[in-house]
Structure 1
């Protein structure tokens, strides 16, 4: 019988199709629960059914961004931009902003219709690029729009733009108080710090921490999460304490933040940097070890960069402080190769700052290359005239320390703001004198006198400059010019010091004129006419007391006698419990003498048995006996009576040697 044919397998029943409405309901539920991974999967299911669904595409992109999958979100935008008519410009610009591709993000927003969201994103990009003024302008245009937490970002932009004084007016225009939120209180405290109002900033930071704790506890956040959120406030509060001189409290706060490790990476980096700055050069190795964790070698034109994305999270000022502190520690630890490498990389990293140039010069000075440091500072002073003052002052300092007074003087003369001030004039003249340029020093005085003569200021220093110039000219043999200056001072100011200087100066050139001015001096009280001829024959002038001085002396003596009579004798104070009627036995009169000098002192007897040698038989005893004999021989040579003792000590050792032979 032929076998039966096998029945064909029945196809499996197809899964029932899920309604797209149910998928959107599930998608909405996952988004509300912040389950963004599931939201992306549901969005893909919707797109598999309806490939061009705009809502599903938008939900997928937003879910990827919320899930910090910015790269995937950007890929999804690029994939859908050709197939869909959805405008993804805002999302694309935001993804580029999150990737720190700020120039591309700003370029993406150009030419687009500006709504409040676009303007807010643009202001954030400009803020990150360091274009603070442009960012502030956009925030000012957004004041009328009802954007949540606009005032927080607005105040932060004002502080970063160096317009901390405008913060109070901005909050008044927005009709908000600084304590309306802990973020706004923190930003307002930062504005007070910029204005050097540290006490007010400290109080506002304490309020910010209290408000933050209350508001975050209402949101049912864990204690660790609350500490992470409030870590910037703790670090800023420690900084204020450091500025106010409470270094111990600041040290403990920084250390606590670092040890607990309950802070965001930017706050930890700032706390670490500030703690190193607070310690100074005390623990260089530990400071370098901590900063090395924050800095890593970069790729491409940027040789160094901050680790863990801190370049994006920290401001330019904060990044510069970290690199500067590392370079200073390298110089202190004498690691000049690493210091040189970092010093030459910093100017390209912070082109608008003067600190990298100064540190380059410091490295050259440390390597005993003062000429190179002077050259670099001079080049940058010529290249950046608006910042030349700092470079020229540093150049003058380096040149003066290196023994180049002429270069130091020339550097100071190139600073018009200070070259006529008395301290600067004195410094330049001293440098010129050291360099042997007396004519140049004289010209400095003449220029300063001319400047102060034309100056219309309340605090005019013409008298000081003229008097010092006259003294300088007299010291260097320019008596006519010195006399002219002194005479001008006498005529214009009537200065006694100038009159004395004029008399001393003209006494060398014109005695009659000196005698004429000498008559203007007031006679000294208590002195009569002095006979010059008799004075030359004696060793000195005699002082004759007048009647008035004698009477004053007598009156003073009478008063002193009256005061002496008025003094009353006070009772002596005795120790507690002491009865002066029964003082007890007198103290030992020898109590202050050393013990060996007192009559009751008896020296201790020496133990004669200490020199005897006892021990087991053998070579050790033999060596001991030998050493004793040698010592006894030495003492025998110096002292005679010790011979018997040494002989007695050697007898037992000879017996032990005999026994050891048996």
Structure 2
């Protein structure tokens, strides 16, 4: 055996020893020695890639794989895809996994499922995990169940009405319970979600205590559960409680940058336009680059959206204008959000015409409107209504297509616009199309009856009793023979078919039946005309019980010293100062005696009577101001 082969065998045995002890840095040095002897040794190349991955040197591992020739590189597509995944190049990782040279083994399918989850392709991800659970038989079933529950939560966040059986997934770990709680959050059942999160907290705490974790480690692991409870409280309007929990979590030494970013964003949302100094610090924490790769696209959109709103609220309009292109480039599928921010920014800058133009350009170009497009359309409708542009409003709402039929409030606005602009034919078409849409989509009985009733009233007001009868008959089929509906039918038939109206009169209840249904005692009650709201209920109290009158204790009079009881009574005003007593008399002022003229009278001219003044309208009362006294001349002393 050549010397080189002996050396390689010895080095591999040394490599095995370092692998068992987990000393991958020392193992890497050994592998490099082997590769110096044989650079194309496939086993040694594989060992080097594994060592670099274990040391989190993903860039180095990827460069090393790509430096190999095509023949060697095709054996390491899984490792290459994993390095791309860890470097957040998720699209490249998936492309690598979909290559023809990738083996269809468990590891590749596991990585593919995780990659599909990261790019939020939840439908394919769900199928991948179902196949993995069926075809695997190892110790990682609990982890796959946790991931499957997380995928279902992702699906419910997109469509809350989607039905997936979470109950079949056992509560084997606290992560599964947490994910089930998140599914309840997605369908806005916050009270149930809090109860489920509290269960997850108990299971997590017990598991970590049994595992010998420190209190700091336990609190760090519980932080995400506490944050989700705080979010539920925030959504239920308990903002003070939520804010307190968020701040307590941020005081801990958290290692998850995504959790810090989401909590900071939620605090900014609670503050709104208050406490702007704290919001400024929190929004910077939320925009951390380290957190971005670990957040969902929805979370990232919300953070950047709130950042734009924060800049508008702090009157940093120029900065907001600069950030909008960044928002559009990062989230090209969220143009509606960008349009809403831009329009709101123009409103704040008092440029309403530009806001209307921005919204019009977007709303009238939408082909398949969504809920967020509806927000933009309603914003534009509000602005146009303020300008009394009814035709413009109608055009915007009509552009929503069939989507408008799912919102009865929009249908109601359109009907009012058509009635004001005298477009009766358009109103009739709207009623008919809306009712057809709800019948086709099997809407609830209450919605259909409400629509039929409004349509019947509308056609009756337009003097079209035949159309009114058509919808009233549908109500009778759904609801039965209601006296109010029968009376409306009689009224409608009487306009074009008197015989039918007379025959329907028999279906109305008789006078005796109506009288029997009336409660005479209730009518005779003296308070009925005021309504139940104004009648006060007085509790019955036993009349025999009477409160005993408390005896008033007399205060002992304080008498002066050396008081003679046989003499006159003491003066009651003796406590007051002398100048405040009723018998006090002020001394006369004698300062002016001997001053002024002493009685001499001069010749007086003849005084003629003055003429009568002309009558004027009385003026309002004036304040009497004290006349200014002349200052006395003071000589030098």
**Shared fold, TM over 0.5:** yes
Q: How does 1:63-142 map to 2 (within 5 A)?
A: 63-81=51-69, 84=72, 87-109=75-97, 110-111=99-100, 112-142=102-132
1:333 and 2:314 are equivalent in the alignment: yes
Q: Which residue of 2 aligns with 1:12?
A: none
| Inter-CA distance 315–214: structure 2 relative to 1 (3 Å threshold) | same
Q: Which residue of 2 aligns with 1:146?
A: 137
| Inter-CA distance 223–60: structure 2 relative to 1 (3 Å threshold) | farther
| Inter-CA distance 337–404: structure 2 relative to 1 (3 Å threshold) | farther
Q: How far off its partner does 1:192 sit? A: 2.3
Q: Could you say what secondary structure the match of 2:110 adopts?
A: helix
Q: Which residue of 1 aligns with 2:427?
A: 444
Distance in structure 2 (CA, Å) of the matches to 1:636 and 1:165? 85
Question: TM-score of the superposition, structure 1-length normalised?
Answer: 0.64
Cα-to-partner distance string for 1:463-488 (whole Å, 9 max, x where unaligned): 434435666x6xxxxxxx48999999
459-468 or 139-148: bigger deviation: 459-468
Q: Which residue of 1 aligns with 2:23?
A: 35
Q: Which residue of 2 aligns with 1:249?
A: 241
1:409 touches 1:431 (CA, 8 Å); kept in 2?
Answer: yes
Distance in structure 2 (CA, Å) of the matches to 1:450 and 1:59? 68
| Inter-CA distance 587–413: structure 2 relative to 1 (3 Å threshold) | farther
Q: How far off its partner does 1:569 sit? A: 6.8
Q: Which residue of 1 aligns with 2:165?
A: 169
Q: Which residue of 1 aligns with 2:615?
A: none
| Inter-CA distance 244–22: structure 2 relative to 1 (3 Å threshold) | farther
Q: How does 1:427-576 map to 2 (within 5 A)?
A: 427-432=413-418, 437-438=421-422, 440=423, 443-444=426-427, 447-448=430-431, 458=445, 459-460=448-449, 461-467=451-457, 481=463, 573-574=547-548
Q: Could you say what secondary structure the match of 2:274 adopts?
A: helix
Q: Which residue of 2 aligns with 1:509?
A: none
Distance in structure 2 (CA, Å) of the matches to 1:154 and 1:420? 32
1:412 and 2:397 are equivalent in the alignment: yes
Q: Which residue of 1 aligns with 2:180?
A: 188
| Inter-CA distance 349–421: structure 2 relative to 1 (3 Å threshold) | closer
Q: Could you say what secondary structure the match of 2:293 adopts?
A: helix
Q: Which residue of 2 aligns with 1:378?
A: 363
For structure 1, the residue ranges without an aligned partner over 5 or more in a row are: 1-16, 296-306, 474-480, 507-547, 555-565, 589-597, 607-634
1:281 and 2:273 are equivalent in the alignment: yes
Question: TM-score of the superposition, structure 2-length normalised?
Answer: 0.67
Q: Could you say what secondary structure the match of 2:116 adopts?
A: helix
Q: Which residue of 2 aligns with 1:532?
A: none
1:323 and 2:308 are equivalent in the alignment: no
Cα-to-partner distance string for 1:563-613 (whole Å, 9 max, x where unaligned): xxx9997675356xx33xxx444999xxxxxxxxx988946869xxxxxxx
1:356 and 2:356 are equivalent in the alignment: no
Let me know the Cα RMSD of the aligned residues. Answer: 4.8
Distance in structure 2 (CA, Å) of the matches to 1:170 and 1:442? 49
| Inter-CA distance 344–116: structure 2 relative to 1 (3 Å threshold) | same
Distance in structure 2 (CA, Å) of the matches to 1:241 and 1:328? 23
1:132 touches 1:157 (CA, 8 Å); kept in 2?
Answer: yes
1:403 and 2:388 are equivalent in the alignment: yes
411-420 or 394-403: bigger deviation: 411-420
| Inter-CA distance 32–394: structure 2 relative to 1 (3 Å threshold) | farther
Q: How does 1:201-216 map to 2 (within 5 A)?
A: 201-216=193-208
Distance in structure 1 (CA, Å) of the matches to 2:162 and 2:411? 39
52-61 or 251-260: bigger deviation: 52-61
Count of residue pairs the alignment pairs up:
512
Distance in structure 2 (CA, Å) of the matches to 1:410 and 1:496? 35
Distance in structure 2 (CA, Å) of the matches to 1:36 and 1:422? 65
Q: How far off its partner does 1:288 sit? A: 3.2
Q: How far off its partner does 1:36 sit? A: 3.0
| Inter-CA distance 365–186: structure 2 relative to 1 (3 Å threshold) | same
Cα-to-partner distance string for 1:333-354 (whole Å, 9 max, x where unaligned): 2322222333344344323344
1:227 and 2:212 are equivalent in the alignment: no
Selected match of 2:250 from 255, 258, 270:
258
| Inter-CA distance 262–443: structure 2 relative to 1 (3 Å threshold) | closer
1:159 touches 1:167 (CA, 8 Å); kept in 2?
Answer: no
